[in-house]
């Protein structure tokens, strides 16, 4: 006898249909990004039911290298990372996730353990001109003390970082 129109038996779990995916030719650059948040569909492809397009953000991250070696001098890296998000809060969370995913430990040429860790997410800022043409501004900030800026920016003195 058919159960058409009635609820399934409790011991039989309901299966959800697979997500609707766009064809590869409609997903531009689908394989060029890493997963740093959200709930991607299989293969990292966009769902046909996705909400409005996310905005582009630039995150400024600082990572620090450390080692147990007595003569090791810490090294810091400032990186600018392009992210997409629906809000500044989501972009900040994605920036933190990205920074954590980049953390690594390895042995250098002297067999000393070197560890790179996220030190700080300095800023997350929405990209105002997301056309990404020549001359598109991705990030800027204002400061008043050029001498202090110059003191930590070795390339201004012609030094190699």
Averages of pLDDT over runs of 10 residues in the chain (161 residues) are 44 48 46 53 47 91 94 92 97 98 94 95 92 86 85 69 53
57: tokens are 């953000």
What pLDDT sits at residue 153?
76
So where are the chain's domains? 55-156
Q: Are 122 and 62 in contact (CB under 8 A)?
A: yes
pTM, two decimals, is: 0.64
Question: What is the reported pLDDT for 42?
Answer: 45
| Residue 91 pLDDT | 98
Number of other CB atoms surrounding residue 61 within 10 Å? 21
């Amino acid at each position: 006898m058919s159960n058409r129109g009635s609820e399934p038996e409790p011991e039989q779990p309901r299966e959800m249909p697979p997500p609707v995916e766009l064809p590869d030719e409609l997903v531009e650059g689908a394989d060029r990004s890493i997963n740093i948040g959200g709930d991607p569909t299989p293969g990292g492809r966009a769902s046909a039911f996705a909400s409005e397009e996310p905005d582009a953000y630039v995150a400024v991250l600082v990572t620090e290298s450390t080692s147990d070696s007595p003569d090791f001098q810490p090294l810091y890296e400032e990186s600018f990372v392009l992210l997409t998000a629906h809000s500044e809060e989501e972009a900040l969370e994605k920036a933190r996730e990205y920074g954590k995913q980049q953390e690594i430990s390895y042995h250098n040429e002297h067999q000393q353990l070197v560890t790179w860790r996220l030190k700080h997410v300095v800023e997350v800022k929405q990209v105002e001109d997301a056309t990404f043409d020549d001359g598109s501004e991705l990030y800027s900030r204002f400061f008043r003390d050029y001498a202090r800026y110059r003191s930590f920016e070795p390339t201004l003195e012609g030094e190699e970082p």
